[in-house]
C-alpha cells in the first residue's frame, strides 16, 4: 500500500513538473514594462499615502464631492452648469482683484491711463473674443463655452502688459497715478494665475457692460452667511436667491447660464456649490493634490493589469512581480469615482 502511495506522489510531482515545463515564458519586454509600471506605482502610492486625509472621508466633504460630481457629469438638474459654476466660484474668489480693477479704471482717467486700459481690453478680446461665447440658435441665449484651443498664455499676457506699463509709466505725471497702474497690473496678474478663467471673466464683464463688481461682494456675503448653516437645505438657498434675484440675473448671462435654466432652483444649486467650495476650501486643495497623484497612478495601474490579463498562470510561467499586490490600490478604490471631476 505504501509503495502505491509513493508511486502516486511521484507520478503527481512528475506531472506537475512536466506541466510547468510546458508553460510559456513571458517576453522580456512585457516583464520590463510591467515591472517599471509597478515600480512607478509604488512611488506614487507612497506619496498618495502621505496626502490621504481622514477629512476626505467625512460625510460633509463627501456631500461636496457628490455635488461637484453632479456638475462635472451633467447629471439631472446640474446639466450644462459646470462651466457656470466654476466661473462664478472664481469670480467670487477673485473679487478683490476685480474691485481693484474697477476702482482704478473709474478713478484714474488720464489719456495715457485709458490707453493702458484699452490695450488690456484689446488683448483680452484677441484671446477670448473668438471662443468666449456662442449664440445658441435654439433658445437665442448666450451660453458659455469651454476653450477648445490653448491659445492663451499667462506668461505672454504678463510680459505684454508689463512692457506696455513701462512704456506708459514715464508719461504719468503723479506718483500716485503710477502706483495706481502698478496695483492695477498686479490685479491683472492675479487673475492670470487662474489658468484662463480669471481674465476671461474680466473680458466677459466688460463685454456685457457689467462694471459694478460689487455684485460679487453680495454673492460673497451670502456664501459667508451660509458657512455655519445646513448647506443641504435647498429651500434656504432658494430663499436667498429670491431675495437677491437681481444680483443673480446680472451675473447669469456672464457666467453662461442657459435661458431655460434661469430659475431660482438653478441659482440655488450654484450658490450651494459656492458655499460648499468655500467651507471645504483647504480640504479641497489637499484633495486635488491627491487626485493629481492618483491620475498618473491610474495609468500605471492599467498598464499592470492589462499585462497581467494577457498572461494567465495556467499558460505562462509568472515572475514573482506578477503576483504582487499593486501598491496604492486601496487608496485608489476609495477615490476612483472622483478622479475625473477635477
Q: What is the DSSP code string of 153-215? A: -HHHHHHHHHHHHHHHGGG--SHHHHHHHHHHHHHHHHHHTSTTHHHHHHHHHHHTT---THH
pLDDT attached to residue 10: 52
CA distance 93 to 65: 19
239 contacts 30 by C-beta, under 8 angstroms: no
pLDDT tens figures, 67-90: 999 999 998 899 999 999 999 999
- The DSSP call for residue 311 is S
pLDDT attached to residue 323: 96
Residues of the chain whose pLDDT is less than 50? 5-6, 8-9, 13-18, 132-150
pLDDT attached to residue 7: 52
pLDDT attached to residue 130: 65
pLDDT attached to residue 150: 46
Q: Which three cell numbers stand for residue 285?
A: 486643495
Name every residue whose Cβ is closer than 8 Å to that of residue 83 and which is 6 or more positions away in sequence: 144, 145, 146, 255, 256
48 contacts 293 by C-beta, under 8 angstroms: yes
Give pTM, 2 decimals: 0.79
Extended strands (E) in the chain: 24-25, 133-136, 141-144, 316-317
Alpha-helix residue ranges (DSSP H) falling in 94-174: 95-107, 111-128, 154-168
**Which among 63, 38, 45 is positioned nearest to 290, based on CA atoms?**
45
pLDDT attached to residue 98: 92
CA distance 178 to 10: 95
pLDDT attached to residue 214: 84
Strands 133-136 and 24-25: unpaired
CA distance 291 to 282: 14
pLDDT attached to residue 134: 46
CA distance 229 to 233: 9
pLDDT tens figures, 260-271: 999 999 999 999
pLDDT attached to residue 174: 94
User: With 0-12 CB in 10 A as exposed, 13-18 as middle and 19+ as buried, what is 213?
Assistant: buried
pLDDT attached to residue 253: 85
- Domain borders along the chain are 93-211
pLDDT attached to residue 213: 83
CA distance 52 to 287: 8
CA distance 125 to 119: 10
Count the alpha carbons within 13 Å of 44 in the hemisphere toward its beta carbon. 25
Amino acid at each position: 500500500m505504501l509503495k502505491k502511495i509513493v508511486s502516486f506522489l511521484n507520478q503527481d510531482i512528475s506531472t506537475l513538473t512536466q506541466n510547468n515545463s510546458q508553460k510559456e515564458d513571458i517576453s522580456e519586454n512585457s516583464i520590463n514594462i510591467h515591472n517599471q509600471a509597478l515600480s512607478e506605482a509604488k512611488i506614487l502610492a507612497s506619496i498618495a499615502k502621505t496626502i490621504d486625509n481622514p477629512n476626505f472621508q467625512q460625510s460633509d466633504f463627501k456631500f461636496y464631492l457628490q455635488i461637484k460630481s453632479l456638475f462635472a457629469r451633467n447629471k439631472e438638474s446640474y446639466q450644462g452648469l459646470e462651466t457656470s459654476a466654476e466661473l462664478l466660484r472664481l469670480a467670487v474668489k477673485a473679487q478683490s482683484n476685480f474691485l481693484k480693477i474697477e476702482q482704478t479704471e473709474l478713478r484714474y482717467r488720464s489719456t495715457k491711463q485709458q490707453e493702458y486700459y484699452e490695450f488690456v481690453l484689446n488683448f483680452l478680446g484677441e484671446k477670448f473674443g473668438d471662443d468666449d461665447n456662442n449664440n445658441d440658435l435654439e433658445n437665442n441665449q448666450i451660453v458659455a463655452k469651454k476653450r477648445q484651443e490653448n491659445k492663451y498664455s499667462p506668461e505672454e499676457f504678463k510680459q505684454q502688459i508689463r512692457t506696455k506699463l513701462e512704456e506708459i509709466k514715464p508719461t504719468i505725471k503723479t506718483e500716485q497715478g503710477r502706483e495706481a497702474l502698478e496695483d492695477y497690473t498686479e490685479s491683472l496678474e492675479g487673475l492670470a494665475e487662474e489658468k484662463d478663467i480669471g481674465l476671461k471673466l474680466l473680458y466677459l464683464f466688460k463685454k456685457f457692460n457689467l462694471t459694478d463688481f460689487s455684485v460679487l461682494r453680495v454673492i460673497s456675503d451670502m456664501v459667508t452667511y451660509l458657512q455655519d448653516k445646513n448647506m443641504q437645505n435647498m429651500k434656504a438657498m432658494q430663499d436667498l436667491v429670491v431675495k437677491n434675484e437681481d444680483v443673480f440675473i446680472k451675473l447669469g448671462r456672464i457666467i453662461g447660464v442657459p435661458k431655460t435654466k434661469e430659475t431660482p432652483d438653478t441659482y440655488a444649486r450654484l450658490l450651494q456649490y459656492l458655499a460648499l467650495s468655500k467651507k471645504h476650501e483647504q480640504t479641497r486643495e489637499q484633495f486635488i493634490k491627491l487626485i493629481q497623484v492618483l491620475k498618473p497612478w491610474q495609468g500605471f495601474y492599467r498598464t499592470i493589469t492589462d499585462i497581467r490579463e494577457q498572461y494567465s498562470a495556467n499558460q505562462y510561467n509568472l515572475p514573482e512581480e506578477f503576483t504582487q499586490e499593486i501598491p496604492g490600490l486601496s487608496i485608489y478604490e476609495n477615490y476612483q469615482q472622483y478622479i475625473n471631476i477635477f
